A and B are shown apart, each in its own frame.
Chain A
Amino acid sequence: AQKITQTQPGMFVQEKEAVTLDCTYDTSDPSYGLFWYKQPSSGEMIFLIYQGSYDQQNATEGRYSLNFQKARKSANLVISASQLGDSAMYFCAIYGGATNKLIFGTGTLLAVQP
């Protein structure tokens, strides 16, 4: 079975500061992918970043980077230079070959303050 744990239900960050959203996972699959999605209050789910379990380097996409620590089964999202538009719910998700589906965590609600 696969599981994603996001322990921060909500977080505040000041505009222009960096913020780290925590994600830990559990899987018995040797090969898996980790994803982060952003969901603003309007409801759409926006793909942010992907990390493969065999990738040696941490993934980066613009202001987003994924701090992947495989031994600790951790895949934290780092957002640099936060903007007001970053205020949203953020979901971590895992995809494993055994289940062939995306399993989401419960999400972290991020509020960026001016």
Chain B
Amino acid sequence: DAMVIQNPRYQVTQFGKPVTLSCSQTLNHNVMYWYQQKSSQAPKLLFHYYDKDFNNEADTPDNFQSRRPNTSFCFLDIRSPGLGDAAMYLCATSRDRGRGNPQHFGDGTRLSIL
């Protein structure tokens, strides 16, 4: 089945130790998104790729970066995780931008910081 796959499902890292979260898709969608969702809150968009074009949200901390080496894969890098970065990280894809393009989400990676 075509889908959005996030690895790992759970990630534990130490305070200040860089961590990378992975997302892959078999939908061949042009757009890939990364969201941060803290407990009992709505998802918050960090950035998205429209094909190879990177679009950062104005309030996304510099500590968060992303790479999209090809259409299928997108990575979220957290350079120096702080305790406040503990959250669920959701990857999503859509065929295109625009109102008629539903975003399809992966199962998420739950990140814990020790």
Q: What residues make up the interface of A, taking CB atoms closer than 8 Å to B?
A: 31-33, 35, 37, 42-47, 50, 52-53, 91, 95-97, 100-102, 104-107
In the complex, B18 has a CB within 8 A of chain A: no
Contact B107 A104 (CB under 8 A): no
Q: What residues make up the interface of B, taking CB atoms closer than 8 Å to A?
A: 41-43, 45, 48, 55, 57, 88, 90, 92, 97-108, 110
Chain B residue nearest in CB terms to A44: B107
**Which residues of the other chain, A, contact B90 by a CB distance below 8 angstroms?**
43, 45
Say what secondary structure dominates the interface of chain A: strand
Which of B57, B102, B110 is packed against the most chain A CB atoms within 10 Å? B102
User: Known contacts A45-B105, A46-B105, A106-B41; is A96 also within 8 Å of B99 by CB?
Assistant: yes
Chain B residue nearest in CB terms to A97: B99
Contact B107 A42 (CB under 8 A): yes
Q: Can you list 25 A-B contacts with CB-CB less than 8 angstroms, sorted by A residue number? A: A31-B99, A32-B99, A33-B98, A33-B100, A35-B103, A43-B88, A43-B90, A44-B105, A44-B108, A45-B43, A45-B92, A47-B105, A50-B100, A95-B99, A95-B101, A96-B99, A97-B98, A97-B99, A100-B55, A100-B97, A101-B57, A102-B103, A104-B43, A105-B42, A106-B42
**Which residues of the other chain, B, contact A101 by a CB distance below 8 angstroms?**
45, 48, 57
